[in-house]
Copies of this chain bind each other. A is one copy, B any other.
Amino acid sequence: DRLVAAVRGHLSASGRPPRGLVLLQDIASGQSILFAPRLPAEYAVWMGEIKPLSYFKDTYKVDMVFYVDEIAQVVQDRFRDHGKPLLFLLHGKNTDSGNFSKPASFEGMEKFDTDLTTLHPILTECRVIKSDLELAIIQYANDISSEAHIEVMRQARPGMKEYQLESIFLHHVYMYGGCRHCSYTCICATGDNSAVLHYGHAAAPNDRTLNDGDMALMDMGAEYQFYGSDITCSYPINGKFNSSQIIIYNAVLKAHNAVISHMRPGVNYLEMHKLAERAILESLRKEQILQGDVDDMMAQRLGAVFMPHGLGHLLGIDTHDPGGYPEGLERPKEPGLSSLRTTRELKEGMVITVEPGCYFIDTLLTKARDDPISSKFFNWQELEKYKSFGGVRIESDVYVTAQGCRNLTNCPRETWEIEAVMAGAPWPLPASGSTV
């Protein structure tokens, strides 16, 4: 007959998170108690005004507020009549990294019973289904990021540096959207760099010069009020697709559109991944880059040679939001599928990325060539043409509705749309010009 309570560290509900807040939720009554750090007088000189407790009560819309150093006393006083209180703490495994979140702790915590396993799956599931307010913020991050992508494609020219495209993006989302941070390090890959999936990190910092004839793969997304966006646009630096660029681009676009047209509650994301793989393999076969039966290619997992990453992932406060593999759902082991960050059935309210890609990656192609069973599916002579092509990725953020889904991203996707926008046309294209 005990009362139970939940404690979290570093919760924040506004753009100005003071460090060290702790939230306690009285599960029996539903009341929330926030504990704020007690700051030294010097804080006012270096960091700014010390806010009264009432500020935290109003800002975070909680029922009560105290100082962090009062937690043990408050909990004891409040639950004294109900035996030893049980604290549910947030401590769970990140299914991508394998790391664990650090549970909240405070002085005097040893006086209470704690539970490290119950809270994490519950809160994770709360994060999987987005509220209307969460959706509105993610839509905002998508709107400003879509705009910024268009600004970048309009300014891209041979002779520029990849990092200049990054700078244009960052400036647009901050200057005009108030987004101080991006959800992840910008990937501004051109030429063969676009076949490096996580290009742009400190050891490969977007420092190549853009060449006439290069494809660009721009994976960039702004964050707003802690919620992210994750968008990839691929296009030719010189503004005009050549024939092999059209082939690969349209193979990926077909996969992207096929997935979005199938998405609705109840659909399994592993099936969507395979749908994308199949669409790409079929296109490559049609262009005689591959040969043989597509079902056989699927059985041989050839999709993973061209798309070694997963089709997409849940998106929210984290770019790779948690909840992809709840208890009981196992990550697949097969090539390509093992990179998928969720194999869940879609549910209304999820926001998930759709990001098929087709890349020409030396190490993976060499491996396929060395394997006698895989090798026979490839037209190696035709593949020669794509040796330094790099890759194409098209990524949108998609909200699952009751009946289907809604694409939150708004960038030109058809090759003629991209060419028109890069040549200076407004976006969206005027109605009369949309089928040029």
A164 to B363, CA, bound (A): 44
A197 touches B163 (CB 8 A): no
Min C-beta distance of A314 to chain B, whole Å: 20
A178 touches B163 (CB 8 A): yes
A41 touches B363 (CB 8 A): yes
Of A92-100, A120-128, A199-207, A244-252, the one contacting chain B is A199-207
With A163-B178, A171-B171 in contact, do A47 and B16 touch (Cβ < 8 Å)?
A: no
B361 touches A199 (CB 8 A): no
A205 to B14, CA, bound (A): 12
Chain A binding surface, main DSSP class = loop
Task: Write 22 A-B pairs (CB below 8 A) sorted by A numbering.
Answer: A15-B205, A15-B207, A17-B202, A17-B203, A19-B203, A44-B196, A45-B197, A45-B308, A45-B361, A45-B364, A48-B196, A48-B199, A48-B204, A161-B178, A163-B174, A164-B175, A166-B174, A167-B171, A167-B174, A168-B171, A170-B171, A170-B174
Contact of A198 with B by CB under 8 A: yes
A204 touches B46 (CB 8 A): no
Contact of A414 with B by CB under 8 A: no
- Across-interface contacts of A193 in B (CB, < 8 A): 48
B164 touches A44 (CB 8 A): no
Min C-beta distance of A258 to chain B, whole Å: 25
Contact of A159 with B by CB under 8 A: no
Contact of A18 with B by CB under 8 A: yes
Q: In chain A, residues 313-371, which have Cβ atoms closer than 8 Å to a Cβ of chain B? A: 361-364
Residues of A whose CB lies within 8 Å of any CB of B are 15-19, 41, 44-49, 161, 163-164, 166-168, 170-171, 174-175, 178, 180, 193, 196-199, 201-205, 207, 308, 361-364
Closest to A15 in B: B205
A198 to B175, CA, bound (A): 22
- Across-interface contacts of A175 in B (CB, < 8 A): 164, 167-168, 171
- Across-interface contacts of A201 in B (CB, < 8 A): 47
A401 to B364, CA, bound (A): 56
Partner among B17, B46, B168, B362 whose Cβ is within 8 Å of the Cβ of A197 = B46
- Across-interface contacts of A44 in B (CB, < 8 A): 196, 361-363
What 10 pairs between A and B have smallest CB-CB spacing? A171-B171, A167-B174, A167-B175, A48-B196, A48-B204, A46-B198, A44-B363, A46-B197, A16-B203, A18-B203
Min C-beta distance of A22 to chain B, whole Å: 16
The residue in A48, A161, A166, A199 that gathers the most chain B C-beta atoms within 10 A of its C-beta is A48
A180 to B49, CA, bound (A): 31
- Across-interface contacts of A15 in B (CB, < 8 A): 205, 207
Min C-beta distance of A374 to chain B, whole Å: 16
Min C-beta distance of A119 to chain B, whole Å: 25
A236 to B55, CA, bound (A): 31
Closest to A189 in B: B48
B163 touches A180 (CB 8 A): yes
B16 touches A204 (CB 8 A): yes
The residue in A17, A18, A19, A171 that gathers the most chain B C-beta atoms within 10 A of its C-beta is A171
A207 to B364, CA, bound (A): 47
Min C-beta distance of A124 to chain B, whole Å: 25
Min C-beta distance of A308 to chain B, whole Å: 6
